[in-house]
Structure 1
Amino acid sequence: MFDVTARLTYKNVPTWHRDLCRVCENIPIVLCGNKVDVKNRQLRAIIILRKPFLYLARKLAGDPNLHFVETPALAPPEVPIDLAAQAQHEAELAAAASQPLPDDDDDAFE
């Protein structure tokens, strides 16, 4: 990981990569930037997000030609709600919450 608000951390990535490869050969490596919520970023979001995940997806799928495609956002499915059943569940939950807890629970774990 590197800090997107500090270009120096991104410049250190090749050194970190070299050191990691010396210790752990042939493992998938993904580079991710943190602090993306900070407004004064020094690096573009496309570099930080899409490229590392595409690299990892290609390695895991074993397909160097794999690419992401955009799909339209779908509306969530309509789910009918039985208001009578919901009211019954809420009443049962309230009744259960009002029940006192027994004082002798410690004996059950010995």
Structure 2
Amino acid sequence: MDVPYKCIIMGDAKCGKTTFLRRHQFAEFKKEYVPTDRFETNVDTLIFKTTRGPIRFDVWDWGKEDKELERYPVDFYKDSRCAILMFDLAAADAFDTFPNYAVMMEQFCADIPIAICGNKADIKADFEFELKPETFLGCGTDPEDRIYSEISVKTNSNINGPFLYLARSLFKDFKLEFVKLPPLMLPPPVSLASALAKIQVVDRKHV
């Protein structure tokens, strides 16, 4: 893990960006909506172990609206290495504003890997988007073209998908996989009386 990769996450309010990051950080899901503070930038560090070694993402989440991002683009977009564009699969109009984010990405930090992410797949609405996300930006069927993934933060379904695509793109290795860490092996419990007895035995030897 040489250097962290700055990753910006964008999308409309209530699509699940902050909850998505909390799920990765703390393995938890909270139902109540807690918006990112306006004019505040949250930077969350996520580290994944891969078949090519660990990779670290510093994910920037900014509490600003679309029009405000256009007004202050530099601090947020500067030095970005990758991005996640998220929308709400349960909202009929959620994808209407989605292309606007892609336009800003093209303007301020073009040529970086972008993972398109549809959240709330567990309650996905039964309708058709006029602009299908799976064909947006020329998505294809090859691994290197699969920039779109559907996830559910609530059910913990496929939440690694966006970061796996970004890691593969950044390492230029589309056979890369995430590696699960082995379970933590704790030593057997030791009673306080047993521990004190051992200490007394050692003390007697040094008398």
Q: TM-score, normalised by structure 1?
A: 0.46
Which structure shows the higher strand fraction? 2
Which structure shows the higher helix fraction? 1
